[in-house]
Structure 1
Amino acid sequence: MFPTFSFWLYLLFALNFVQNTITSTLRNETDYLALLKFKESISNDPYEILSSWNTSTHYCNWHGIACSLMQQRVIELDLDGYNLHGFISPHVGNLSFLISLNLANNSFFGKIPHELGRLFRLQELLINNNSMTGEIPTNLSSCSDLEVLYLQRNHLVGKIPIGISSLHKLQMLGISNNNLTGRIPPFIGNLSSLIVLSVGNNHLEGEIPVEICSLKNLTGLALAVNKLRGSFPSCLYNMSSLTGISVGPNDFNGSLPSNMFNTLSNLQYFAIGRNEFSGTIPISIANASSLLQLDLSRNNFVGQVPSLGKLHNLQRLNLGSNKLGDNSTKDLEFLKTLTNFTKLRVISISSNHFGGNLPNFVGNLSTQLSQLYVGGNPISGKIPAELGNLIGLIHLSMDNSNFEGIIPNTFGKFERMQQLLLNGNKLSGEVPSIIGNLSQLYLLSIRDNMLGGNIPSSIGHCQKLQSLDLSQNILRGTIPKKVFSLSSLTNLLNLSKNSLSGSLPIEVGKLISINKLDVSDNYLSGEIPVTIGECIVLDSLYLQGNSFNGTIPSSLASLKGLQYLDLSGNRLSGPIPNVLQNISVLKHLNVSFNMLEGEVPMEGVFGNVSRLVVTGNNKLCGGISELHLQPCPAKYINFAKHHNIKLTVVIVSVAAILLTVTIVLTIYQMRKKVEKKNSDPPIIDPLARVSYQDLHQGTDGFSARNLVGLGGFGSVYKGNLASEDKFVAIKVLNLQNKGAHKSFIVECNALKNMRHRNLVKVLTCCSSTDYKGQEFKALVFEYMNNGSLEQWLHPGIMNAGIQRLLDLDQRLNIIVDIASVLHYLHHECEQAVIHCDLKPSNVLLDDDMVAHVSDFGIARLVSAIDDTSHKEFSTIGIKGTVGYAPPEYGMGSEISTHGDMYSFGVLLLEMLTGRRPTDEMFEEGQNLHIFVEISFPNNILQILDPHLVPRNEEAKIEEGKSGNFPPIVEKCLVSLFRIGLACSVKSPKERMNIVDVTRELSIIKKAFLSGGIDLEF
């Protein structure tokens, strides 16, 4: 009997089902193998995100993977922000159903695989914030469904590839912050769906192509920091869809059409600062009611500023460094239209031609105004007392103008003021005592005025002052001792060119972190206090033009970083101390016109006539021949001949006794060395050794000019070694310090097996004897050109007074780096490691500002045996540094990972507030944790580090860090403060652990960088 038709139909269906099942299985196998190959390309997974990628679960359930419901094919691979290190496997190109590939905010390197061009279903490709190199693949043109392409913040080179022009669905193109060259190609006009174009911070040249006007949906255009030139295409002003334009700095020129804001009525951000635009400000700007930020600074705009009365949403206005105004009384009338703007935070009209008086109605501006810059204009008249109504001011700059009269007492209302610049005016009267009310002040400059009277002692209440400049006035009286109690003074104390009298108090030695001290050209007298040698960070010391007497103190030799020393025009007597020739970095020494006598030294600064001035001291002799001084008499060069034979006998006898004692002590120390050597614990798996001779030669005999740091157990030098082709850091242990020898053992043991990109890499070590036969131990590390985090958080201690500041993005990256190290130490090492001394000075920054944790001299190795912790530790003393060490350590508790978390929490709060935990403001039970807790979460912007607010005219507005942050950034700040507080609570067991910290930091970083596109506004 023949089979029925229904049978054949059923058989056909069954065969088709089997075929589809086999095909689906094969395809699933393709995705599975591709993911395994991707995992193999990852060399470091600090959060163990890929640990779930194993055979125990289906790959659709692996972390970061999403699959289609029907075919079970991979459609999404999202590993954003997990600090993965490795290259992107070309096998990703086999995930043919992939719709979204997000590898942003990691440490991927190498080239972008061309195989990604096979992903024809791909809609989102995000590889921003990595270390990718090479060119942008041309075959991405095959990804015809691509809507989002984020490649910014990498190291990509070459031109923008023509293949991108075929991506007609592309909406977001972010390729900023790379090393791209060439022009903005005309084919960019083919991207008809483009909403945001961000190509800033590259090396692009040429003009903006007119084809860009074809992008009818474009809302954001970011071209900042390139080498672009020419004028804007006229059609650009008709693109009513634009909400943001950021093009500075470049070399654009030309004038702006008077009616441009009639069509660009939706603009919220218009930033064209630092170009060559000219002409007048378009009068149509009155209609730009959506504007939030307007930056026209550093151009060549002229004429009067039109009415801005309809810009009610304006937050930042920067007109600085133009040629606006004509030095007339009507120049500042436009400010009256701003008095009802409640959202206004920053105004800069500095360095223009504005004249007349500063009108009283300025005091009617918003009390939320935080920055006001009016200096560098020919504005005259008195400072209006109404200015004191602006109680929200943080920065006020009125310098280099023609203000006269007194400093108003209403300035005492500025309780939030951090930077006050009144220098270069014609102010008179006295420095008001209300200055002491400005407790948040870190910079005060009133130099070059006509202020008289005494320096008010109330300045001593400004406990955060880093720079104080009262020079070039007619101040009189003595210098208040309270000025020298300002330990916060790290940058500058300048009291020169006044009429100050009395002595220089011995309290000057309290300024241990001051970089520049200038009291020259006054009427100061008495001796130069020897305590000045305690100002060990001094770079420049100017005491000339006074009436100082006595001798030059030898304690000046303690100032190893001193470069400029001027003692001229005083009444100093006696010899020039020989020890001054040991200050190897001294560039200029002037001791002219004193009453010095004796032989001039010949080494160091004394060996270079172009760096030394000794004229006007008739009794000086000798020195190098270029000084043309008279030869020294015998009493200076052969003093011993004038003594009798009895003294010679005494000297010979004493020498014999000393020789005997030396021999006995030498034998005793040799025996002790043998005993010590036999009793020392061995260094496990010793590092490759380098000789003392190599280190001695590489540091020029451990010269002071190569000294880069001092620590509890020794000194750190910068040097060159024959075995290395780059600079290294050499940590030389001071074996006279208790615990230094054991610190060397601990650090070797702690570092021998540790490998992490955020740890300072140890290169070699030295355990030998020096040229005097003394025991010598040193560790050699990678050298970090950007120094320590301490120097960046508190820039006043930077060499030569160079201020280098960290923005919020950099601080977040450093926080993440440090947390990554703690996660590794506590959970990923064979033996858990407790650092015990986490603080800013132990965090070093490389060329790319990547953080590296260092100094494991008191670290602890912990191994778990039978669920109990066994710690290898020494008895070096209390673990950690005051302020960063947890309170339980001071009460005898054992060290633990909870202690490291406390230090991390304090460090995090310090990075956010800019305040050390040992700040003098924390007394009577107060501390950094309590200080933050009081303002958390509603008032955190008031305690934010003032360095996050731009200090100079170059970065005031476009940086967007004035204290009025976008909501997403403010939320991130709240979260960071919360982590810092949770880690630094008093109870160890209540502290946040590093696993939760790293997880939350990853979320914060992702949120902070959300959208990926940085319009640079």
Structure 2
Amino acid sequence: MNLLWFQTTTAASALGNETDRLVLLKIKEFITNDPHDVMSSWNDSIPFCNWHGVTCSLQHQRVTTLNLEGNNLVGSISPYIGNLTLLRFIYLQNNSFSGNIPQQVGRLFRLQHLNLTRNIFGGEIPVNWSSCSELKIVDFKVNSLIGQIPTELGYLAKLVVLNLGVNNLTGGIPLSLGNLSSLTGLSVAFNNIAGKIPDEIGRLKRLSIFTTSSNKLTGITLPNLQRFGIGINEFSGPIPTSLSNASQLQIFDISDNNFEGLVPTNLGNLQDLLWLGEVPTKAVFQNSSAISIIGNSGLCGGVPEMQLLACPIQVTKQGKNRNSNGKSSSFSSIDIQPNVSFKSLYQATGVFSPSNLIGSGSFGSVYKGILDEEERVVAVKWSRFKALVFEFMTNGSLERWLHPLEDSENQSTDFSLLQRLNIVIDVAYALHYLHNLCEQPIIHCDLKPSNVLDNDMIAHVSDYGLARILTSHK
């Protein structure tokens, strides 16, 4: 009896293994461009559990994870993916997959994470999610999805994060999402969603992040939040006093709506509030004597009488170039470009994805991004909802060239004496400009190899977090 069970189990496992292998080959067929050749390992000379991006269970050697994140793959998802019956995690973010999300994904009853962020998926979101009772994370942000948010998503009882931001979704927010008692994060920002936010959403006790920016939504009853963004919508009437009940609220943005009346004084009781967004200039905010912003040094915007700092996000471009003979030319002035919207930065950096994080420090984090249709590569320095956008330095810092990591391709032996001398001259020119050519002399105060960036072997002095303006009285 035991022998018969063992033989039956072994045969079933072998059949499952072969099914998984064939499904993976079908997935490969649907990929039309593989610029980094990451799919080359997907062949019969290597066990499929060792293929790039594939993880298998130890016991059954069946596929449990498919991770092809950030490989710039072009193509679509094969509907055969629904036959990977032990699949738990799908990570396809930061590629160029297009077409519809296959309905067959709804067959994956063990699926827990589904991340399709920053692709070009179109069509409507599938509706057959009833079998996916284990789903905890659904992340479809930054795609081209259309249609309405499926009511069926509200029956995924274990869902923790639902991010549908930056798509072309229409309709309203389904009442069924109020059933998601485990939900901690919900984003529908930058879509075309309209109507009233369901009161049921406000009763989600674990919901700590809720963003609906840039839609056509109305209605507000949302306690228990840490981040609350409803900027660029069609909310009207007075600002609800009930918002003061969100005792853990840290980020609060209601800019560009139609609120009127007094700003509730009990908002001042929110002791954890770090950022209130840009102070509007319409309605009650037109009269600087009608509101008080005392003690909120981090605010910006507002009417001139408030004497707050402006809130523009500016693109700056270093002005030093080298002429044809390889020497540094004279410095041009900083080129101030048009303001860049938060939505553009949101999309350019993959919603400030950790995979695009270049570095971080006490003055904020720096992300790599691809801006606008011209696909300009930029570096975005981000700190507490303020940003500066710089030209991206393709070769990284001088520190990495002088002291390369073991697996780095930038070896110091490839860094010639002439190149080193040119970089020293470039840095000297930069310091000369800061000290002698600026209207007010600037002292950098933190010059070191990690703050010297290189683009096409032209050095740029960066990171002015500790810089000081030298006044006339010193």
Fold similarity call, TM over 0.5: yes
The separation in 2 between residues aligned to 1:187 and 1:67, in whole angstroms, is 35
Give the whole-Å Cα distance in 1 for the aligned partners of 2:145 and 2:341: 26
Counterparts of 1:635-784 in structure 2, within 5 Å, are none
Query: Could you tell me how far apart the structure 2 residues matched to 1:846 and 1:221 are?
Result: 26
Partner Cα distance (1:270, 1:189) in 2: 22
- Deviation string, structure 1 residues 604-655 (Cα, Å, up to 9, x no partner): xxxxxxxxxxxxxxxxxxxxxxxxxxxxxxxxxxxxxxxxxxxxxxxxxxxx
Amino acid at match of 2:256: R
Mapped pair 1:324 → 2:294 = no
* AA of the residue aligned to 1:348: C
Cα separation, partners in 2 of 1:849 and 1:170, compared to 1, 3 Å? farther
SS at match of 1:348: coil
| Alpha-carbon distance in 1 for matches of 2:347, 2:148 | 28
Paired residue for 1:116? Answer: 105
- Alignment of 1:934 with 2:459, yes or no, is no
Cα distance in 2 for partners of 1:325, 1:46 equals: 59
Q: Among 173, 187, 202, which residue is 2:191 paired with?
A: 202
What amino acid is aligned across from residue 198 of structure 1 in structure 2?
Answer: S
- Name the residue aligned to 1:739: none
- Highest Rg: 1 or 2? 1
Matched with 2:403 is none
Structure-2 change in CA distance of 1:804 and 1:149 (3 Å): closer
1:396-411 alignment runs, 5 A limit: none
1:253 aligns with 2:217: no
Letter in 1 for 2:104: E
Q: 1:243 aligns with which of 207, 226, 231?
A: 226
Instruction: Answer whether contact 1:60 1:74 (CA < 8 A) is retained.
Output: yes
For 1:290, give the aligned amino acid: D
Partners of 1:144 and 1:936 lie apart in 2 by 52
1:19 and 2:5 matched: no
On the 8 A contact 1:125/1:150 being kept in 2, the answer is yes
Note the alpha carbon deviations across 1:564-598, whole angstroms, 9 max, x for none: xxxxxxxxxxxxxxxxxxxxxxxxxxxxxxxxxxx
**Paired residue secondary structure (1:28):** helix
Cα distance in structure 2, aligned partners of 1:152 and 1:805? 17
User: Match for 2:133: what amino acid?
Assistant: S
Alignment of 1:48-59 (within 5 A): 48-59=37-48
Quote the offset at 1:60 in angstroms: 1.4
Match of 1:138 among 123, 127, 134: 127
8 Å contact 2:212–2:229 — kept in the other structure? yes
Instruction: Give how far 1:286 is off.
Output: 2.6
Distance across 2 between alignment mates of 1:18 and 1:933: 70
Matches of 2:248 and 2:299, distance apart in 1? 22
CA contact (8 A) 1:277 1:299 kept: no
Q: How far apart are the structure 2 equivalents of 1:42 and 1:985? A: 38
CA distance in 2, matches of 1:851, 1:41: 29
Asked if 2 retains the 8 angstrom alpha-carbon contact of 1:276 and 1:299, the reply is no
After superposition, residues 383-394 of structure 1 pair within 5 angstroms as none
Q: Does 1:290 align with 2:265?
A: no
2:41 maps to amino acid? S
Separation in 2 of the partners of 1:810 and 1:151?
Answer: 13
Q: CA RMSD in A?
A: 4.0
- After superposition, give the CA deviation of every residue in 1:659-716 in whole Å (9 maximum; x if it has no partner): xxxxxxxxxxxxxxxxxxxxxxxxxxxxxxxxxxxxxxxxxxxxxxxxxxxxxxxxxx
The answer (yes or no) to whether the contact 1:274–1:297 under 8 Å persists in 2 is no
Paired residue secondary structure (1:142): coil
Is residue 147–residue 169 contact of structure 2 (8 Å, CA) maintained in 1?
yes
C-alpha separation in 1, matches of 2:448 and 2:303: 36
**Residue identity opposite 2:230 in structure 1:** V
Change (3 A) 1:116 1:249: same
> Following the alignment from structure 1 to structure 2, what is the Cα–Cα distance between the partners of residues 183 and 203?
9
Distance 1:31 1:933, change over 3 A: farther
Equivalent in the alignment of 1:347: 299
Aligned to 2:391: none
Q: Which residue of 1 aligns with 2:170?
A: 181
From the two aligned structures, give the one with the greater helix fraction.
1
Secondary structure, counterpart of 1:145 in structure 2: coil
For residues 947-1000 of structure 1, the C-alpha deviation after alignment (integer angstroms, 9 at most, x for no partner) is: xxxxxxxxxxxxxxxxxxxxxxxxxxxxxx6xx58x8599xxxxxxxxxxxxxx
Given the alignment, which residue of 850, 859, 866 partners 2:375?
850
Deviations 1:462-500 (A, max 9, x none): x979xxxxxxxxxxxxxxxxxxx996358xxxxxxxxxx
Alignment TM-score, normalising by the size of structure 1: 0.34
Q: Residues 141 and 851 (structure 1 numbering): CA distance in 2 closer, same or farther, change over 3 Å?
A: farther
TM-superposed CA distance for 1:211, in Å, is 1.9
Judged with a 3 Å threshold, the aligned counterparts in structure 2 of structure 1 residues 82 and 488 are, in CA distance, closer, same or farther, namely same
Percent of residue pairs bearing the same amino acid type: 37
* 2:55 counterpart (66, 69, 72): 66
Where does 1:460-475 land on structure 2 (aligned, <5 Å)?
A: none
> TM-score, normalised on structure 2?
0.70
After superposition, the C-alpha distances for 1:365-404 in whole angstroms (9 at most, x for unaligned) are xxxxxxx527xxxxxxxxxxxxxxxxxxxx9x9xxxxxxx
Structure 1 residue 180: deviation in Å?
0.4
Once residues 82 and 48 of structure 2 are traced to their aligned partners in structure 1, the CA distance between those partners, rounded to angstroms, is 17
CA distance in 2, matches of 1:117, 1:255: 43
Give SS of 1:221's match. strand
Distance in 1 (CA, whole Å) between partners of 2:65 and 2:142 is: 23
* Contact 1:153–1:177 (Cα < 8 Å) also in 2: yes
The 3-state SS of whatever aligns with 2:192 is: coil
Look up the match of 1:950.
Answer: none
Q: Once the 2 structures are TM-superposed, how far is the Cα of residue 53 of structure 1 from its aligned partner?
A: 1.8
Q: Distance in 2 between matches of 1:232 and 1:136?
A: 26
- Letter aligned with residue 65 of structure 2: E
Amino acid at match of 2:73: L
* Offset of residue 214 of structure 1: 3.0
Contact 1:322-1:352 within 8 A present in 2 as well: no
> Is the partner of 2:128 in helix, strand or coil?
helix
Gapped regions of structure 2 (runs ≥ 5) = 321-328, 351-369, 378-394, 396-409, 420-425, 436-443, 460-474
Structure 2 counterpart of 1:373, one-letter code:
L
Match 2:71 to one of 57, 61, 82: 82
Task: Indicate whether 1:488 and 2:320 are aligned.
Answer: no
Q: 8 Å contact 2:137–2:162 — kept in the other structure? A: yes
Pick the aligned partner of 1:276 from 250, 254, 258: 258
* Other structure's SS at 1:139 match: coil
Preserved CA contact (<8 Å) 2:129 2:153: yes
- In the alignment, the residues of structure 1 paired with residue 53 and residue 346 of structure 2 have an alpha-carbon distance, to the nearest angstrom, of 25
- Distance in 2 between residues matched to 1:250 and 1:935, nearest whole Å: 46
Tell me how many residue pairs correspond in the alignment: 380
Instruction: State the secondary structure of the residue aligned to 1:270.
Output: strand
What is the aligned partner in structure 2 of residue 216 from structure 1? 205
- Partner in structure 2 of residue 774 of structure 1: none
Question: Partner of 1:66: helix, strand, or coil?
Answer: strand
Q: Is the 8 A contact 2:279 2:299 kept in 1?
A: no
Quote the offset at 1:847 in angstroms: 6.6
Give CA deviations for 1:110-165 in whole Å, capped at 9, x if unaligned.
11011111101111111110000100011123211111000110000000112212
Alignment of 1:828-847 (within 5 A): none
Question: What aligned pairs does 1:982-993 form with structure 2 within 5 A after superposition?
Answer: 984=457
In the superposition, relative to structure 1, how do residues 301 and 260 fare at CA in structure 2: closer, same or farther (>3 Å)?
Answer: farther
**C-alpha distance in 2 between matches for 1:92 and 1:291:** 45
Tell me, in whole angstroms, the C-alpha distance in 1 between the residues paired with 2:190 and 2:428: 38
User: Could you tell me whether the CA contact under 8 Å between 1:126 and 1:148 is conserved in 2?
Assistant: yes
- Decide whether aligned partners of structure 1 residues 135 and 808 sit closer, same or farther in structure 2, where only a CA change above 3 A counts: closer
Structure 1 runs not aligned, ≥5 long: 1-11, 303-320, 339-343, 359-371, 375-394, 398-417, 420-441, 443-462, 466-484, 491-793, 797-801, 814-844, 853-883, 885-896, 907-916, 944-976, 987-1017
Which residue is 1:373 aligned to? Answer: 309
1:29 counterpart SS class:
helix
Q: For the residues of structure 2 that align with 1:101 and 1:932, how far apart are their CA atoms?
A: 46
Closer/same/farther in 2, CA of residues 323 and 919 from structure 1, 3 Å limit:
farther
CA-CA distance at 1:253 after TM superposition: 1.2
Aligned residue number for residue 156 of structure 1:
145
Q: Is 1:232 equivalent to 2:196 in the alignment?
A: no
Asked if the contact 2:216/2:233 (under 8 Å) is kept, the reply is yes
